[in-house]
Structure 1
Amino acid sequence: MLVERRIRNYQAPLHQYMCNGGKRAIEIAHRRWGKDEIALAWTFQAITERPATYWHCLPQFTQARKAIWTAVNPHTGQRRIDEAFPVELREVTNEQEMFIRFSNGATWQVIGSDAYDTLVGAGVAGIVFSEWALANPSAWGYLSPMMRENNGWALFITTPRGKNHAYDMFNHAVKSDDWFAELSDAQATKAFTDEQLDGIRDEYVALYGKDFGASQFEQEYFCSFEAAILGSYYGGELAAARAAGRICEVKHDPDLPVQTVWDIGYSDDTVILFVQVVANEVRIIDTYSANGQPLQHYAEVIASKDYNYSRHVLPHDAQAKTLAAAGRSVYEQLVTDHKMKHVTILKNTNTEQQGIMAARHLFLRLWIDHDQEEFINAISQFRREWDDPSKCFRDRPMRDWTNHFADALRYLAWTWREPPKPKVEKMNPIITIGGKSTMTMNDLVKASTKRRKEEAYH
C-alpha cells in the first residue's frame, strides 16, 4: 500500500539520507520542525522494506504515551500513530504496551530510555531517540552493539539542552563520514515569519523574565547550546566551577585514601562516586554507573580499582532487608558475601532540599575530573519539575535518569568529612615503690575499670 507523505523542504536532507541507506543521523532542530513526524514517516518506510523490530524512544516511558501514542495532530484531528501507520496494515495494536504488529511481521513500539536495560529483543533494525538531549545517554551505549550486529539504523532528534551528550554527539557526527548531522534553526527553515518569532519571544520573556526568557527562546527556536537549562539546580555552580578551572584533569593521588559514595538503584541506575579529600578540597576522581546489575558486579568494580579505600558510604535504604536477598540488606551482602571493609550507612536525617543546598555549598570546594562526562552531564541536567497548568516550577526535582547522580552528590555533601577518630585520654602509670604499689585497693579498682572501658572502646 502506497502512503502519501508530505515532506517539508527543510526535512528533505535528513529524509533523503535515510532513504539512501544511512545508518546514523542526528538532527538538532527548532520547535515545531516536525522531528517526530519525519521520523515516523521514515520508520514506516523502513518497516515496509525490511520486516523487523523498530522502536521509538522517549526520555521517559510515562512521557512516551502522551507525546507519541495518544498525541493528536491538531491540523487533522487524527492520532499521530494512525497517520503514520495505517490501521489496515496492522495485525495487532496493543494500547497498553504501545505496541503494533504489522501484517508483514514487523513490529513497532514506543519505549522509554529510563529503563534501557529492559530493552532486549533480537532483530532490532531501527530506533528513533526523540528528545535525545533529555534522554539517558547510557541507553545508546547499551543498545548500539545490538544495532551494529543487526546492521540497523539510529536516528537522534532533539532541540538543545546545554552542552551535554547531544552536543558532544553532534560535534562528533559533524566530523564523521559515517554520520548525518544537521542543525536546523528557525532562521534557516523560515517555518515562522518574523512577526511570529517576535510574538513567541515576547511570550517567553513574559513567562521567564527578560534575560532567561530570551535565552530559552534562543535555545528552542535558534538551537543555541549556550542557554541555561530551565530549572537547573546546579547550572550556576557548574558554570562557576568551569570558570575557576575546577573541572579539569583530577588524577588519583596514590598517597591518599579514597572513599566511595553510592546511590543504589534497585530497578534502575546505581551510581558510585570515587572521592579524595585534601584539606578543604573535595576531588571526584572517578565515577561509575550501571543499570540492572547484581550487587556482585559493583563489588567487583570496587575491587578492580587500585585504590586504598578508607570507607564506602551507602544510602540509608541499603540497610533494608529484601525477600529477593533471603531477608538480607545490601549492607549485609557487601560485608558478608563480598568481604568489603569500612562500609557505613548514611543516616536519613535531612530532607532532599537540605541536601541540594548542602551540595551547592560543596561546589565551592569541589574539583571534578573532566573525563567524568556522564556525571557532569547528569548534574547539569538535574532540574526542577515544571507544572504546566500553573506555569511555574514545583519545589521538587524532575524524576529521570539524572536523579541517581544528583543523589550521590547530595550524599557526598553530607559525608565528605570523615568522622574524627575518638580521642583517648592517656592513663598515668601505676606507681610502685620497691615492687609494691602505693595505690589503695579502691584506686586499683578504679584504674582497672577505666582501663577495661578504654580497651572495650577500641
Structure 2
Amino acid sequence: MSNIQVPVNWMPRTYQIPLWSYLEKGGKRAVAVWHRRAGKDATALNWTVVSAFTRPGLYWHLLPTYNQGRKIVWDGRTKEGKAFRDAWPREAIRSENNTEMKLELENGSIWQVVGTDNVDRLVGANPVGCVFSEYSLQDPRAWDYIRPILAENGGWALFIYTPRGRNHGHEIIGMAKRNPRWFAQTLTIEDTQAIGVDVIEEERLAGMPEEMVQQEFYCSFDAALVGSYYGTQMEKALKEERICTVPYEPRLEVHTAWDLGTHDSTAIWFYQVSGMEIRIIDYYENSGEGMVHYAKVLAEKNYLYGKHYAPHDIEVRDFSVGKSRKDVAAALGVKFTTVPKLSVQDGIEAVRNILGKCWFDQSKCDRGIEALRQYKKSWNDKMRCYNDSPDHDWTSHGADAFRYLAVAFKEKRQYAVKLPRQTESNYDPLGY
C-alpha cells in the first residue's frame, strides 16, 4: 500500500489545473461549469481517489438517476477509452459490489456511485466527499440533505455540469462567484480549445438542436431548455410578473391537485380560482409517507378547502385491506374527486392552455415552479431526437399533479358553461 501513487496514469489538463489546485490546497466547495467533453467526471473522480487515500471515509459520485450513474460512471469510459473505474488502483481495492456500484478500499474508504432520483435513501449516511455530476439535472434537495453533513464533518463538495436554463445550477454558480470561500469556473470550448469548431458543426448536422449546442459547448444559461414542455409558458409568466407573491384569500376555497406516489414522491398543488385567474398559493411534496401524513399537512395549513383532485388510480383497491386510497383518505376527512383519465399528451395540452391564467407564489411554490420549468421530453440517444414521452425524473411528480389540476379545471369549466344563466349578478360560471 505504501508504494501506491495516485492519480493513476492521469494528469490534469492545463485548464483543469485551477480547480485541482484549489482542491489540493484544502478548498471545500467548488462549482465547475465546463463544456461537454472537457473531462469533468474524470477530474472529479481522480480528485476523489486522492482524497480517499488521504482521508479514509465515504465518498459519493452522484448522478441524477441510478441508471445514469451506472451508464456514465460505473460502466463509463473517458473519451480516450479508459474505464473510469481504472482510476482506482486495483491492488488497493478490498471488495467490489457491482449491484450497489460500490468499492471498498483496503484503508477503509468507500466509493459509491449514487442516483439522486430517490434522495430519501441518502439520509443517514456520512459522506466526507461528494461529486454532484450533471448537477443542473439533479433533484436540488440532494444538496440540501447532504450540505449539513459535510458542514459538520469538514467534507468537500464538487458540482460539475453544463447549464440547463436558469435553474438551481444557475443559482449555485452565481452564489459561488459571490462567495470568496467557493471556487467558481465556467469554461466553454473557446476557453479550452479542447474541441474544434468542425466537431460542433458535425453535431449540428447530426441533429443536435442549436439550443443544446449553446448549452453543451458554450455553457449558455440563457438558451431555452431543449425539450421542455412548459419552458416558454413559464418564461412568459416570469416576464409578466405572474410569479410573485400570491396571498391566500380567506373568502375563496382552496382546491388541491395531487400526484399520489407509493414508493416515490407525492406532490400537492394548492390553488384558488377567482374569475378567470388560477392563483397557485402553495405546493407540498414528500415521499415515504402515508395518507395520514398528508391529511395532517392539509389540516395544519388551515385553509378553507373545496375540492381535492386525484388521478384515477386512487380508486384501485388494495386487496390486503379491501380498501382504496380514496376510501382511506375519506376516513381521514379528505374526500377526493377523481379526474377524468386522459392521455399524457392531452393532459400536457390542458396545462399549456391554462398556464396563461396562472399566478404562482414564488416562495411557497418554488420547487413546483422549478419542476414545471424543467419538465421535458426524454432523449433518444440512438435516434438522436426527443421521444414523445416525458423524462421520468424528480420533476415528474409536480408536473403530473399540475396536469391533474389542469384537467380538473378544464372539466369544471366545461360543466360550468353548460349551466343556464343566473339572474343574480354575483354568479361566477367558473366558480368552484
TM-score (norm 1): 0.85
- Cα distance in 2 for residues equivalent to 1:107 and 1:245: 48
1:395-434 paired onto structure 2 within 5 Å: 395-416=388-409, 417=412
Residues 242 and 423 of structure 1: is their aligned pair in 2 closer, same or farther, counting only changes over 3 Å? closer
Tell me, which stretches of 5 or more residues in structure 1 are unaligned? 425-458
1:160 is aligned to: 163
1:5-404 paired onto structure 2 within 5 Å: 5-75=10-80, 77-82=81-86, 84-192=87-195, 196-201=196-201, 203-204=203-204, 207-208=207-208, 212-213=209-210, 215-322=211-318, 326-336=321-331, 338-340=332-334, 342-348=335-341, 350-371=342-363, 372-404=365-397
Structure 1 residue 206, shift from structure 2 partner: 5.7
For the 8 Å contact 2:371–2:398, the answer to whether it is kept is yes
Residue 232 of structure 2 aligns with an amino acid whose one-letter code is G
- Cα distance in 1 for residues equivalent to 2:375 and 2:16: 32
- Cα distance in 1 for residues equivalent to 2:276 and 2:282: 18
Residues 24 and 295 of structure 1: is their aligned pair in 2 closer, same or farther, counting only changes over 3 Å? farther
Q: List per-residue Cα deviations over 1:246-281 (Å, max 9, x = no partner).
A: 222222212211111111121112111010111011
Residues 317 and 146 of structure 1: is their aligned pair in 2 closer, same or farther, counting only changes over 3 Å? farther
For the 8 Å contact 2:271–2:279, the answer to whether it is kept is yes
Residues 315 and 178 of structure 1: is their aligned pair in 2 closer, same or farther, counting only changes over 3 Å? farther
Q: List per-residue Cα deviations over 1:91-125 (Å, max 9, x = no partner).
A: 00111221100001111111101011112444311
Residues 201 and 227 of structure 1: is their aligned pair in 2 closer, same or farther, counting only changes over 3 Å? farther
Residues 283 and 201 of structure 1: is their aligned pair in 2 closer, same or farther, counting only changes over 3 Å? farther
Q: List per-residue Cα deviations over 1:347-386 (Å, max 9, x = no partner).
A: 32x1111101111101121122222222122112111112
- Cα distance in 1 for residues equivalent to 2:203 and 2:48: 35
What is the percent sequence identity of the aligned residues?
40
Greater CA drift, 378-387 or 367-376: 367-376
- Cα distance in 2 for residues equivalent to 1:160 and 1:74: 21
Residues 315 and 186 of structure 1: is their aligned pair in 2 closer, same or farther, counting only changes over 3 Å? same
1:428 is aligned to: none
- Cα distance in 1 for residues equivalent to 2:184 and 2:99: 35
Q: List per-residue Cα deviations over 1:112-143 (Å, max 9, x = no partner).
A: 01011112444311111100011111222222
Residues 172 and 122 of structure 1: is their aligned pair in 2 closer, same or farther, counting only changes over 3 Å? same
- Cα distance in 2 for residues equivalent to 1:199 and 1:34: 16
- Cα distance in 2 for residues equivalent to 1:328 and 1:119: 32
SS class of match (1:56): strand
- Cα distance in 2 for residues equivalent to 1:411 and 1:282: 14
SS class of match (1:207): coil
- Cα distance in 1 for residues equivalent to 2:45 and 2:336: 50
For the 8 Å contact 1:387–1:393, the answer to whether it is kept is yes
Residue 44 of structure 1 aligns with an amino acid whose one-letter code is V
Residue 55 of structure 2 aligns with an amino acid whose one-letter code is R
For the 8 Å contact 1:201–1:217, the answer to whether it is kept is no
- Cα distance in 2 for residues equivalent to 1:387 and 1:186: 25
- Cα distance in 2 for residues equivalent to 1:378 and 1:300: 24
Residue 118 of structure 2 aligns with an amino acid whose one-letter code is A
- Cα distance in 2 for residues equivalent to 1:330 and 1:148: 40
SS class of match (1:170): helix
Tell me, which stretches of 5 or more residues in structure 2 are unaligned? 421-432
- Cα distance in 1 for residues equivalent to 2:142 and 2:319: 29
Residues 327 and 27 of structure 1: is their aligned pair in 2 closer, same or farther, counting only changes over 3 Å? farther
- Cα distance in 1 for residues equivalent to 2:170 and 2:28: 19
Greater CA drift, 223-232 or 388-397: 388-397
- Cα distance in 2 for residues equivalent to 1:107 and 1:203: 38
- Cα distance in 2 for residues equivalent to 1:156 and 1:16: 16
Residue 333 of structure 1 aligns with an amino acid whose one-letter code is V
- Cα distance in 1 for residues equivalent to 2:304 and 2:177: 42
SS class of match (2:317): coil
Q: List per-residue Cα deviations over 1:320-351 (Å, max 9, x = no partner).
A: 23367x44332222221x333x4322232x11
Tell me the number of residue pairs that the alignment of Structure 1 and Structure 2 aligns.
411
For the 8 Å contact 1:90–1:103, the answer to whether it is kept is yes
- Cα distance in 1 for residues equivalent to 2:307 and 2:257: 9
For the 8 Å contact 2:228–2:376, the answer to whether it is kept is yes
Structure 1 residue 224, shift from structure 2 partner: 0.7
SS class of match (1:267): coil
Greater CA drift, 162-171 or 172-181: 172-181
Structure 1 residue 201, shift from structure 2 partner: 3.8
Q: Which has the larger radius of gyration?
A: 1
- Cα distance in 1 for residues equivalent to 2:319 and 2:170: 43
CA root-mean-square deviation = 2.2
- Cα distance in 1 for residues equivalent to 2:26 and 2:292: 42
Residue 310 of structure 2 aligns with an amino acid whose one-letter code is L
- Cα distance in 2 for residues equivalent to 1:184 and 1:343: 51
Residue 142 of structure 1 aligns with an amino acid whose one-letter code is Y
- Cα distance in 1 for residues equivalent to 2:44 and 2:318: 43
TM-score (norm 2): 0.89
